[in-house]
């Protein structure tokens, strides 16, 4: 039993943990401690408690019930369809090659029914009582299951941007690879789920208008709440050069996790001689540029590698580029390792997928964060870098516009035009050749994040939202008109 006055919050996460939205769910649950809301997480999961993709490990410290996709992954590895396993794998909003979780637009009606049925059985077999509010991350088949199991419970839908990118690509006819037969069904479902939600949360204000375009819901139900940063973990640490080199040696030589396309973690390995790139001809350390994230097309990691190569090959500037991340065997477009080989680029190192708590240490060994993403939905990792005193390079699109160089007279990083290799190379050159400028912007970054982005502030915004839903008079939702669904698929027939 909960203490008097406490309320049950069910947090739903359809995917197995990876990427920024999983971090948001975990941090938000922890930040709700001390409020009257008691969260429990229902999440997809993969692997054992030794694996970062295991939900119980990832959400450690939070009540968590996990739906295990491991058998579905094994069925796929044996040549079967992960979507037809007894517990089907979660689908994806991204079109990736060589992975069991194919894009959701590929799933037919039978596969959709399997997805929903799996979550209904999972909810029904859980130990949780009827929640006071359900908070669902992303627009997924969990919505259908929740409305069947708890039809009258208020639902908060939290959009992190990936589904919006997919819907934009469907609308614009730019979905890569083969035409999708089931686009219109999935668009209609996602519009219905958004329309049925009591509140829709977006991570940045610029997404509010996008939601109105792609998922027409009453604007009174849409609100923007930014994610926060754990400033106890992410803070300037000022490591000495010897400490930094010892850690790079551990991550790149002793415990390699970088991976070549189609090969396992650790298939990219380095030796002591390779680490000479971290030292200049004068024997002094060269600046370290860090990318951290998944190998998704919109991240433009290939462009960053090209810009870094252009800077090194056309100027006397020297730095090393560390690529941290890339969920094993998952990538879109050209694999970044192939980009390095195609260009003959030097000074690029792949650190592989690491625990999130490792990111703080990795940032403490870096001088500049660079991710020239186009239309980044929000960009929590940029803020984590800034909180660590590491200024970022981003583009003049998406979420980073709300926190990089907000005061143009006191810049906290660099913003470059999207898809501009030359401008990115020039920003890299300006940063790595001016340590005083890096340090100045790093100090501003850390101060800015502490003043404007914290999980405590985000948690307060969410508790107000939950309180509003539970304190509202019965039937108040029905008084808000759901806007008509827009036909986004005029040229694609229903299968």
**Has residue 398 been placed in a domain?**
yes
Q: Are residues 448 and 461 in the same domain?
A: no
User: pLDDT tens, 36-48?
Assistant: 999 999 999 999 9
Q: Are residues 314 and 183 in the same domain?
A: no
CATH code for the domain of 161:
3.40.50.2000
Number of structural domains found in the chain: 2
Q: Are residues 254 and 143 in the same domain?
A: no
Q: Are residues 262 and 371 in the same domain?
A: yes
105 Cβ contact list (under 8 Å, min separation 6): 166, 170, 175, 180, 182, 183, 186
> Does 477 have pLDDT greater than 60?
no
**Has residue 491 been placed in a domain?**
no
Q: Are residues 140 and 247 in the same domain?
A: no
Q: Are residues 194 and 320 in the same domain?
A: no
Cα–Cα distance for residue pair 307/424, rounded to 1 Å: 6
Q: Which run of H or E residues covers position 408?
A: none
Distance between first and last Cα of the chain: 48
> Does 422 have pLDDT greater than 60?
yes
Cα–Cα distance for residue pair 150/138, rounded to 1 Å: 18
**Has residue 146 been placed in a domain?**
yes
Q: Are residues 462 and 438 in the same domain?
A: no
Distances from the Cα of 454 to the Cα of 27, 134, 228, 270, 450, angstroms: 10, 23, 4, 37, 7
**Has residue 403 been placed in a domain?**
yes
- 3-state DSSP helix/strand/coil % of the chain, to nearest 5: 40, 15, 45
**Has residue 440 been placed in a domain?**
yes
Mean pLDDT within 209-237: 90
Q: Are residues 197 and 266 in the same domain?
A: no
**Has residue 373 been placed in a domain?**
yes
Q: Are residues 217 and 278 in the same domain?
A: no
**Has residue 424 been placed in a domain?**
yes
Of residues 209 and 462, the one with the higher pLDDT is 462
Q: Quick check: 30 and 62 in contact, CB under 8 A? A: yes
Distances from the Cα of 221 to the Cα of 157, 191, 199, 483, angstroms: 10, 14, 5, 11
Residue 277's CB is within 10 A of a number of other CB atoms, namely: 17
Mean pLDDT within 431-440: 96
Cα–Cα distance for residue pair 171/167, rounded to 1 Å: 6
* Residue 164: domain span: 7-228+455-479
**Has residue 376 been placed in a domain?**
yes
Domain boundary among 452, 467, 489: 452
Q: Are residues 121 and 257 in the same domain?
A: no
Top-confidence range, 21-25, 41-45, 178-182, 404-408? 41-45
Q: Are residues 218 and 304 in the same domain?
A: no
pTM for this model (two decimals): 0.76
Mean pLDDT within 473-488: 40
Q: Are residues 188 and 290 in the same domain?
A: no
């Amino acid at each position: 039993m909960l203490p008097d006055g406490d309320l049950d919050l069910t947090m739903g996460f359809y995917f197995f943990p990876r990427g920024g939205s999983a971090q948001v769910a975990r941090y938000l649950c922890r930040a709700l401690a001390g409020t009257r809301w008691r969260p429990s997480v229902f999440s997809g999961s993969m692997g054992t408690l030794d694996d970062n993709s295991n939900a119980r490990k990832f959400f450690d410290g939070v009540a968590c019930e996990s739906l295990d996709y491991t058998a579905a992954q094994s069925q796929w590895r044996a040549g079967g369809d992960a979507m037809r396993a007894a517990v089907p794998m979660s689908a994806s909003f991204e079109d990736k090659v060589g992975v069991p979780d194919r894009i959701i637009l590929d799933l037919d009606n039978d596969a959709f029914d399997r997805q929903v049925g799996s979550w209904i059985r999972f909810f029904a077999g859980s130990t949780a009582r009827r929640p006071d509010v359900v908070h669902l991350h992303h627009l997924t088949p969990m919505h259908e299951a929740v409305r069947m199991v708890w039809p009258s419970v208020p639902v908060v839908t939290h959009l992190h941007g990936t589904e919006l990118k997919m819907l934009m690509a469907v609308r614009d006819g730019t979905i890569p690879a083969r035409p999708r037969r089931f686009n219109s069904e999935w668009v209609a479902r996602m519009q219905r789920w958004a329309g049925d939600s009591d509140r829709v949360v977006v991570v940045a204000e610029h997404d509010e208008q996008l939601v109105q375009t792609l998922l027409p819901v009453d604007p009174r139900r849409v609100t923007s709440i930014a994610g926060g940063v754990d400033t106890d973990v992410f803070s300037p640490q000022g490591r000495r050069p010897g400490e930094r080199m010892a850690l790079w040696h551990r991550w790149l030589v002793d415990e390699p996790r970088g991976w070549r396309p189609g090969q396992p973690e650790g298939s990219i390995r380095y030796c002591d001689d390779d680490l000479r790139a971290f030292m200049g001809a004068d024997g002094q350390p060269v600046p370290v540029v860090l990318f951290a994230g998944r190998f998704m097309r919109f991240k433009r990691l290939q462009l960053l590698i090209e810009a870094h190569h252009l800077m090194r090959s056309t100027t006397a500037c020297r730095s090393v580029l560390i690529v941290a991340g890339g969920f094993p065997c998952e990538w879109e477009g050209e694999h970044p390792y192939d980009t390095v080989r195609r260009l003959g680029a030097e000074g690029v190192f792949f650190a592989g997928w690491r625990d999130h708590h490792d990111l703080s240490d990795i940032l403490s060994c870096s001088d500049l964060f660079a991710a020239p993403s186009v239309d980044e939905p929000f960009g929590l990792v940029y803020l984590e870098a800034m909180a660590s005193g590491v200024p970022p390079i981003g583009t003049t699109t998406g979420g980073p516009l709300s926190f990089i160089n907000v005061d143009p007279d006191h810049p906290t990083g660099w913003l470059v035009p999207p898809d501009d290799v030359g401008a990115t190379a020039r920003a890299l050159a300006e940063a790595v050749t001016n340590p005083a400028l890096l340090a100045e912007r790093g100090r501003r970054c850390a101060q800015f994040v502490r003043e404007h982005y914290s999980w405590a502030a985000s948690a307060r915004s969410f508790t107000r939202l939950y309180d509003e839903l539970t304190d509202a008079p019965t039937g108040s939702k029905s008084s808000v008109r759901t806007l008509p669904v827009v036909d986004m698929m005029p040229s694609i027939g229903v299968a």
